[in-house]
Amino acid sequence: MTAALAIERLEAGYEPGLPIVRGASLSVAPGEIVAILGPNGAGKSTLVKAVAGLVPVSGGRVLLGDSDITHTPAHRLVHAGLAFVPQTENVFAGLTVAENLELAAALTKAPRAEREAQLGAAYAMFPDLERQRRLAAGRLSGGQRQMLAVARALIARPRVLMLDEPSAGLSPKLVAQVFAKLAEVRASGVTLVLVEQNVKAALALADRAAVLVEGRERLVAPAGELRGDARIAELYLGRAPSGVAAATPVGGR
Ligand SMILES: Nc1ncnc2c1ncn2[C@@H]1O[C@H](COP(=O)(O)OP(=O)(O)O)[C@@H](O)[C@H]1O
Ligand SMILES: [Mg+2]
């Protein structure tokens, strides 16, 4: 079966000759939820930003279904079927909830009737947002703001949704609410890739997880297998646990 998203030996970074993502590979099946874990500075955000067309790619490729989307600018990926929720500044704080969603709908350039349908679907999935549609996004609670960011990303009806730390700054109760909504999003047929610092919550939600260290995936396994697995802590501490290959330099495989 064709992967929904395939990242193949990707190299990416902010400055030429200084790759942050160093040959990362990850294949995500349609309908799957895959979590990308790893210590601070491992390159998780850079990886998803590179896939989202926001950081220059210097090697490897990214496939969205059958399409090669490497080097596709971010604004085109919306139409290709890939959506991205960045960790910060993922809503327009000064605009109302309704304006945030209407702007996302306008950006799809769909005909008016289709845009109305998109907004209707968003409010149906996020009834709390409908109740707060006239509130400035900046006045929403952290959890609701994250919901709005997800709702905005879903407006274009993506096949794959990537999120960078959707649980950041949220209380455990709100993390549970946001993650329950993400499970609903998957049930609606969207494939999910999420970067997470909250290992426990991520492994409870995801089907599989990848641990990224120094720009490469070091361990990819079913989430159920990784719950309580000491190898994760070892990788976070910069050690090479038994049964996990040591890091190889760029181009070393
Ligand atoms: N905008 C940027 N410009 C230059 N270097 C950056 C930028 N953002 C991140 N980096 C560097 O890239 C590395 C990986 O960062 P990041 O991808 O944010 O890691 P993670 O999300 O895993 O914590 C870090 O060394 C960081 O300093
Ligand atoms: Mg990050």
Return d(Cα 190, Cα 31) in angstroms, integer.
Answer: 6
234 CA → ligand 1 middle, Å: 21
Q: Over the chain, what is the mean pLDDT?
A: 94
187 CA → ligand 2 middle, Å: 26
For 173-193, write each residue's pLDDT tens digit: 999 999 999 999 999 999 999
pLDDT of 248: 54
- Helices in 126-214 by DSSP H: which ranges? 127-131, 142-154, 172-187, 199-205
Mean pLDDT of 157-169: 96
Q: Which ligand is nearest to the CA of 216?
A: 1
Return d(Cα 63, Cα 2) in angstroms, integer.
Answer: 10
Return d(Cα 146, Cα 152) in angstroms, integer.
Answer: 10
| pLDDT greater than 60 at residue 251 | no
N- to C-terminal Cα distance for the chain? 26
pLDDT of 245: 66
**H or E segment to which residue 100 belongs:** helix 97-107
| pLDDT greater than 60 at residue 194 | yes
86 CA → ligand 2 middle, Å: 9
| pLDDT greater than 80 at residue 15 | yes
Which atom of ligand 1 lies at the shortest distance from residue 165's CA? 21
121 CA → ligand 2 middle, Å: 30
Which residue in 184, 176, 174 sits closest to 151, CA to CA?
184
Q: Which residues are within 8 A (CB) of 215 and not within 5 positions of it... i.e. 6 or more apart?
A: 19, 20, 21, 22, 23, 24, 42, 43, 46, 47
Q: Which ligand is nearest to the CA of 164?
A: 2
Q: Which residue spans within the chain are E strands per DSSP?
A: 5-12, 21-28, 33-37, 57-64, 67-68, 82-85, 160-164, 191-195, 208-213, 216-222
Q: Which two tokens stand for residue 163?
A: 């999120």
Domains and CATH numbers, the chain: 1-81+160-165+190-253 (3.40.50.300)
For 70-104, write each residue's pLDDT tens digit: 999 999 998 999 999 999 989 999 999 999 999 99
Mean pLDDT of 41-49: 98
Q: Which two tokens stand for residue 194?
A: 């999420």
Q: Is the CB of 20 under 6 A from ligand 1?
A: yes
Return d(Cα 240, Cα 218) in angstroms, integer.
Answer: 9
**Predicted TM-score of the model (pTM):** 0.94
